[in-house]
């Protein structure tokens, strides 16, 4: 059934087949409701009436709601959806806290100029300005979908300039150096085992910190990744679900890594549920692991890149070794191959090697 929109009047459209005006509005559960009438005014009155009903149940449908109220109602709805990761909800909550003073404005009255001025004047990094812009685009898109606004100001708001910087992954030589330095330093035994395991499985930082000892199988050399160590918006550490369903997986490693883990556990005199833990048996927080990682790189005299770059490096190296994207995605817990492909970073030595190979193929001196 083909429809013609009526000058952007929310959920109002012309049903050519039935020769009637059609009003469409979603209720608080997301279910669409329709009302058709030959009189356009009757349909508009129905839309206004239903909006009032829904606004009394959910701020997402109120014409007078502020950006702040809409943002937190939006986040609350996301948190109630079991398909939305906890990390996504926490990320949205963090971004919502950065929307002031724009957050105090009635959403229906915010203009593209207001958004441009807010982003331009915000005391934020270029990276965070880009994130705020994308979050506002999501919020105003949801508002438009719910017919809270007639026009989306984000359609013509200025996109903030931001070019993300991607660093070089760790080379195999750098990773070997890091692991060798840790191996030869007794006080770093825990990190020797942790970094050795991470270098061959490419797990997310929270995932490797959340591995439980009970999931280790040294006969078949695997562990299970089913939880992840995280931090809430107040910085408190907790153990929650993995990022996606695909992240729950059996993680295999070779016998050499198994021996390193067994030696580590034999020397570890702390009784804990977690493979890698603090002196009290609690999981190591992400923040503390990041601090330790800086110290480890300084000890090995390797240029700093975040711990997450071990994951980048693993994926990049597996691509260089010729493994299929689908197999790599399964190992690292990606639900989409596009994500795996984005993680692969170029290595400058390989870029130069390709240039030389191409020259040799064509006999270019």
Which CATH number fits the domain that encloses residue 196? 1.10.443.10
Query: Do residues 339 and 196 share a domain?
Result: yes
Distance separating alpha carbons of residues 65 and 109, to the nearest angstrom: 10
Query: Do residues 328 and 222 share a domain?
Result: yes
Domain that holds residue 13: 3-57
94 in a domain, yes or no?
Answer: yes
The domain tally of the chain equals 3
Q: What is the CATH number of the domain that holds 125?
A: 1.10.150.130
Query: Do residues 47 and 138 share a domain?
Result: no
Query: Do residues 326 and 285 share a domain?
Result: yes
- Pair 243, 181: CB distance under 8 Å: no
Query: Do residues 133 and 36 share a domain?
Result: no
361 in a domain, yes or no?
Answer: no
165 in a domain, yes or no?
Answer: no
Query: Do residues 140 and 182 share a domain?
Result: no
Peptide bond into 101 cis (omega under 30): yes
98 closest CA partner among 74, 115, 123: 123
pLDDT in tens, 159-204: 999 887 777 889 999 999 999 999 999 889 999 999 999 999 999 9
Query: Do residues 209 and 72 share a domain?
Result: no
Distance separating alpha carbons of residues 38 and 19, to the nearest angstrom: 7
288 in a domain, yes or no?
Answer: yes
> Digits of tens for pLDDT over the chain (365 positions)?
344 433 334 478 888 888 899 888 776 666 778 889 888 888 887 777 776 666 554 555 566 788 998 998 888 888 888 778 777 888 898 899 999 999 999 998 999 999 999 999 999 999 999 999 999 999 999 888 877 788 899 999 999 998 877 778 899 999 999 999 999 998 899 999 999 999 999 999 999 999 999 999 999 999 999 999 998 767 788 998 888 888 999 999 999 999 999 999 999 989 999 999 999 999 999 999 999 999 999 999 999 999 999 999 999 888 888 888 888 888 999 888 888 888 776 666 665 665 566 557 555 54
Global pTM?
Answer: 0.67
364 in a domain, yes or no?
Answer: no
Query: Do residues 24 and 129 share a domain?
Result: no
62 in a domain, yes or no?
Answer: no
Query: Do residues 284 and 315 share a domain?
Result: yes
239 in a domain, yes or no?
Answer: yes
Distance separating alpha carbons of residues 296 and 192, to the nearest angstrom: 10
Query: Do residues 146 and 209 share a domain?
Result: no
Query: Do residues 111 and 37 share a domain?
Result: no
Query: Do residues 187 and 332 share a domain?
Result: yes
Distance separating alpha carbons of residues 317 and 309, to the nearest angstrom: 12
């Amino acid at each position: 059934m083909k429809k013609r929109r009526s000058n952007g009047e929310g959920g109002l459209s012309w049903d050519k087949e039935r020769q009637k005006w059609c009003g469409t509005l979603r209720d608080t559960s997301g279910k669409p409701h329709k009302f058709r009438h030959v009189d356009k005014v009757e349909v508009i009155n129905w839309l206004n009436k239903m909006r009032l009903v829904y606004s009394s149940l959910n701020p997402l449908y109120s014409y007078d709601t502020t950006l702040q109220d809409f943002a937190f109602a939006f986040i609350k709805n996301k948190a109630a959806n079991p398909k939305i990761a906890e990390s996504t909800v926490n990320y949205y909550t963090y971004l919502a806290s950065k929307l002031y003073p724009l957050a105090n404005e009635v959403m229906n009255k915010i203009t593209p100029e207001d958004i441009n001025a807010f982003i331009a004047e915000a005391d934020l990094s270029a990276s965070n300005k880009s994130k705020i812009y994308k979050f506002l685009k999501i919020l105003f898109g949801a508002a438009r979908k719910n017919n809270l606004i007639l026009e989306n100001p984000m359609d013509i708001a200025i996109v903030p300039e931001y070019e993300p910087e991607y660093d070089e992954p760790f080379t195999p030589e750098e990773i070997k150096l890091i692991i060798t330095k840790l191996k030869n330093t007794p006080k770093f035994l825990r990190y020797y085992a942790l970094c050795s395991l991470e270098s061959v499985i490419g797990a997310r930082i929270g995932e490797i910190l959340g591995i439980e000892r009970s999931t280790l199988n040294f006969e078949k050399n695997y562990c299970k990744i089913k939880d992840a160590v995280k931090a809430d918006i107040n910085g408190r550490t907790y153990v929650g679900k993995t990022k996606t369903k695909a992240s729950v997986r059996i993680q295999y490693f070779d016998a050499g890594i198994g021996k390193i883990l067994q030696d580590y556990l034999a020397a570890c005199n702390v009784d804990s549920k977690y493979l890698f833990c603090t002196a009290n048996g609690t999981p190591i927080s992400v923040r503390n692991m990041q601090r330790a990682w800086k110290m480890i790189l300084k000890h090995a005299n390797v240029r700093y890149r975040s711990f997450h770059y071990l994951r980048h490096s693993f994926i990049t190296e597996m691509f260089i070794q010729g493994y299929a994207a689908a197999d790599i995605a399964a190992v690292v817990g990606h639900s989409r191959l596009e994500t795996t492909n984005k993680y692969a970073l170029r290595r400058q030595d390989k870029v130069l090697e390709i240039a030389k190979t191409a020259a040799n193929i064509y006999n270019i001196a």
